Amino acid sequence: MNSAATPASSPPLRSIGQIVLLMQTVGPLYLHVPDPHSIGSRDGEFRDPESTFRLPGAPAWSLQPESWWLDSTATWVARRLARHATHAATAPAPTLLSGEIVSWGIDGQPLIGGHRTVAFLDADVFVEAQATYSAWRETALPRGSRSLRADTSEDFLLEESGHDSTESR
């Protein structure tokens, strides 16, 4: 009998440190925030909400730092989680996935094929992420750049989709 823990039998991850340790063990991870209104997302099949076309993978966001990122992996993870905290607050069960990028969603997010749920996330990790990211912004960014943009979920959503939030205002 296999005694390995499964995500369903393991407690949800509660800290950024736990996520970073998991990334070191498993490799690249992706944040998947299920849309409670999305067609088919509950049974493992993912569909584009507007067209209802079947997607080739789970929509998710990479937690792997980009090559240009000079700060810590923990800060990068905090930044990514903070940017998606609004979505996660209304999602039934935010998860971390492993798998391969097979395509891209309409909003530019990777679609993860052959995905496997590695862990569930507790709401506490998003609270920590927002605090960590805010503290980083206060210390790492030049003084003038902090006041140029408001930290609103609308700005984050537009930034994630590749649009400048100032264009729509």
pLDDT tens string 115-168:
999 999 998 999 999 999 999 988 877 665 554 344 444 444 434 444 444 443
Rounded Cα–Cα distance for residues 166 and 169 (Å): 5
In sequence order, the 6+-apart residues with CB closer than 8 A to the CB of 131 are: none
pLDDT tens string 61-76:
999 999 999 999 999 9
pTM attached to this predicted model: 0.75
- % of the chain with per-residue pLDDT over 90: 51
Rounded Cα–Cα distance for residues 169 and 164 (Å): 10
Ordered DSSP codes for 3-44: ----TTTSPPB-SHHHHHHHHHHH---EEE---TTSTTGGGT
Compute CA distances 135 → 15, 79, 146, whole Å: 16, 11, 11
Q: Is 129 exposed, middle or buried (0-12, 13-18, 19+ CB in 10 A)?
A: buried
Dihedral sign (CA 123, 126, 128, 130): negative
57 pLDDT band (50/70/90 cuts)?
Answer: very high
Relative orientation angle of helices 73-83 and 16-26, to the nearest 10 degrees: 110
- Between vectors from CA 155 to CA 93 and to CA 39, what angle results, nearest 5°? 35
Q: Beta-strand (E) ranges in the chain?
A: 30-32, 58-59, 61-62, 95-104, 110-120
Question: Regarding beta strands 30-32 and 61-62, do their DSSP bridges make them parallel or antiparallel, or are they unpaired?
Answer: antiparallel
